[in-house]
Structure 1
Amino acid sequence: MIFTILKVVIGIGCIIALIHFDFIDFSLLANALSAPGVVLFAFACLLITVFIGALRWQILMRALHAEIGYLQSLNFTFIGQFFNVFLPGAYGGDFVRGGLAYRLHKDKLGAIMMSSLVDRLTGLVGLLVISLAVLALIPSQFQFWIGVIVVTGLALAFFGLVAAVKFQGIFISLIRLMPGPVERILMRIFKTVVGALEKYWNRKMDLVAAVALSVFQYVLVLESLHLLGGAMDITGLSWIGYIVSGVAGLFANAIPISPGGLGIGEAAFGQIAHLLEDQATNTAYSSVFLLMRTLTLLTAVFGVIPFLLYRDAVNAVTREKDKLQQGGA
């Protein structure tokens, strides 16, 4: 709990600092109200990403032989978002979503956990793919090191998957060197992970589809940033600048030192935007990312509807987590 409070303090502190140093300008946010149609379209782009995320999770669950209908996946995904936004630190959205899926497949706990993990990883890979695609658009002084980071990330993801599947004997030998109780726990986890990876390895097109959906999600997010910048009447940044700054902001947003990267994503987006603007200005570019974040949070409001529909199941899941926490206390 203390870490959650600390993260919230860091996030709020970052936003206050950005306002103090004129990286966030509320007059720009007010400008966006003069173009409600554009803002609504940007919101629609962000809302569609939830539907895409539900499809991606369904594909990843199906690859592990844990069948789930698309409507169920969509409802569980919205409920997970609702918990992430409105009950941060109490019950993780992934835990609630997975718990609801577990009630459908009591014998698929490992598969459900792995599908959530791989869901996160394919999202990261999708962002890396976009980063690689826009590498040529980045100023030359940054191209080399950013290229090294992106290529290294993709290579580690691929070869980590290959190593875990193809060299199981080495990992098993290392685990067997552990003390008895630790060995049994690690062996069970390892076999669950490798079993899931083998299934994904044999269904590579499902992974390709999941990454492709992630890329599409981020394209919609980047387009929403571009639309919101236009609604704010910000003219100093080209569409290429929005793409590059947006990718930087989304990467920074994944840094887990504040809730959802609050303040971190805004700072990164604003700094990179200033480097890429056509002529040097004092435009508070971080305002664009902040508005995009606000609209993203609003999409979670739709989670109220499936939450009410599945209220009994959600309550059962949260009670189970409470029991686990009390048992470990």
Structure 2
Amino acid sequence: MAGAAGADKQRAIMAVKLMLVAGIFAWLYGSGRLDFAALGMALTETPGHVAASLALTLTAIAIGVERWRALLSAMKFSVGFGPALRLTLIGMFFSIALPGVVGGDIVKAYYLARGQSQKTALVTTVFFDRIAGLYTMFLMAALAGAGAAAFVWISPDTPGWWTPSIKGLVLFSIIAFAMSSVMALLFMSKRVGESPALARLIGLLPFSAAIMKIHGATKNFGREPGLMLRSLVFSIIAQLVAYASIWLMAAALKITELPFWQYLFALPVCALINSIPVAPSGLGVGEVGFGAVFAMFGSNKGVELAVLFHAVNIALCLVIGGLVYLSSLRGDSGVSIANLKNLEREEGNK
């Protein structure tokens, strides 16, 4: 009975979220903020831009896989690129098939840890991979914001785009990056990580036993600074490629108000808003966020850019991720590291 009640509650919550998404899109369209004609022109007049954007998105995903493999190496696990890419695509598929951004991570972690004794360590890499991506967003936004502030400082005249709203975003980005960097350094510190005071603090928290297991598993990250740096480098490259992909979408929509360097500042902020777990895959919330941020830079097509961004990513998740998931089911009840090793050997024999 409890399980059925829980399932009913989840369905009710999802229904509310979908109604929220529908309401947001209705409001955007009714208020004139969403122009479907502009989207149609982008797809029909510049299909090459959209195709190139899709290719760059796939490239960014592949580079992100290398980031995850670096984290796995820090935990003393070795998984080939091909199998790791398959798991990532399966996780992306379930992020749409089971709505909610976290859903894909949970499925990816589940398949990775099946049949393994060190489940906590393996699952930890999946969620730290997400954290590495978020940290890189803070880093990119802070660097671009600091660069913008320096440009304004040395310019004889204040640029028109240097508004109080932009100043606030720059300050937020720099503070968020500084705080996350301090937390990362404390986390990497052996003295802090093995402090009895920290153990006592964790003991006071809910689910302290599970948190303690995760904390124990993460100590390997602090012992492998080289691999952590490698993970960060891959994350930065993946972010730049992803931003180039969105820049191509913006070019297809004829958004000319922002030079590329401003995308390096605007897009991390948009991505953070898009990741707020209010609606499935950021739908609706992302459109509002993109629209508000791009309006600060003088563009009225941020909403359309978010719609195109979501369309490309959802298509990738459902089509490519779905095909990979279906192919993984041939002869298997699921995907685990043992199965991934077999898949890797199959690829090597082709």
Which bin holds the TM-score, normalised by the shorter protein? 0.7 to 0.9
Choose from 243, 246, 255 the match for 1:234. Answer: 255
SS of the equivalent of 2:189 reads helix
Residue of structure 1 equivalent to 2:293 = 272
Choose from 200, 208, 225 the match for 1:186. Answer: 208
SS of the equivalent of 2:256 reads coil
Partners of 1:262 and 1:188 in 2: how far apart?
32
Contact 2:100 2:280 in 1 (8 A): no
Contact 1:131 1:247 in 2 (8 A): yes
Partners of 2:208 and 2:332 in 1: how far apart?
30
> Do the aligned partners of residues 176 and 272 (structure 1) sit closer, same or farther apart at CA in structure 2, a change above 3 Å counting?
closer
Q: How far apart are 1:98 and its partner, in Å?
A: 1.9
* Residue 23 (structure 2) pairs with residue 13 (structure 1): yes
Q: How far apart are 1:175 and its partner, in Å?
A: 5.3
Residue of structure 2 equivalent to 1:325 = none
CA root-mean-square deviation: 2.7
* Residue 246 (structure 2) pairs with residue 246 (structure 1): no
Q: How far apart are 1:165 and its partner, in Å?
A: 4.5
**Gaps (5+ residues) in structure 1?**
318-329
Instruction: Count how many residue pairs are aligned between Structure 1 and Structure 2.
Output: 306
**Gaps (5+ residues) in structure 2?**
1-9, 150-161, 336-350
Of residues 262-271 and 167-176 in structure 1, the stretch that sits farther from structure 2 once superposed is 167-176
SS of the equivalent of 1:68 reads coil
Residue of structure 2 equivalent to 1:284 = 301
In the TM superposition, what are the counterparts of 1:142-181 in structure 2 within 5 Å? 142=167, 143-162=170-189, 165-174=192-201
Moved over 4 A (4+): 174-178, 312-317
Residue of structure 2 equivalent to 1:3 = 13
Give deviations 1:152-183, integer Å, cap 9, x for gaps: 233233324438853431133345679xxx8x
Residue of structure 2 equivalent to 1:37 = 48
Partners of 2:259 and 2:110 in 1: how far apart?
44
Give deviations 1:178-207, integer Å, cap 9, x for gaps: 9xxx8xx624541x2233222111111212
SS of the equivalent of 2:276 reads coil
Partners of 1:155 and 1:313 in 2: how far apart?
47
Residue of structure 1 equivalent to 2:277 = 256
Contact 1:84 1:92 in 2 (8 A): yes
Contact 1:245 1:270 in 2 (8 A): no
Residue of structure 1 equivalent to 2:237 = 216
Q: How far apart are 1:15 and its partner, in Å?
A: 2.3
- Identity among equivalent positions (%) equals 23
> 1:45 is aligned with what amino acid?
L
* Residue 322 (structure 2) pairs with residue 304 (structure 1): yes
Q: How far apart are 1:304 and its partner, in Å?
A: 2.5
Residue of structure 2 equivalent to 1:321 = none
> 1:207 is aligned with what amino acid?
M
Partners of 1:22 and 1:72 in 2: how far apart?
45
Give the TM-score normalised by structure 2: 0.79
> 1:62 is aligned with what amino acid?
S
SS of the equivalent of 2:45 reads coil
Q: How far apart are 1:315 and its partner, in Å?
A: 4.5
Residue of structure 1 equivalent to 2:311 = 294
Partners of 2:179 and 2:247 in 1: how far apart?
29
Partners of 1:268 and 1:177 in 2: how far apart?
37
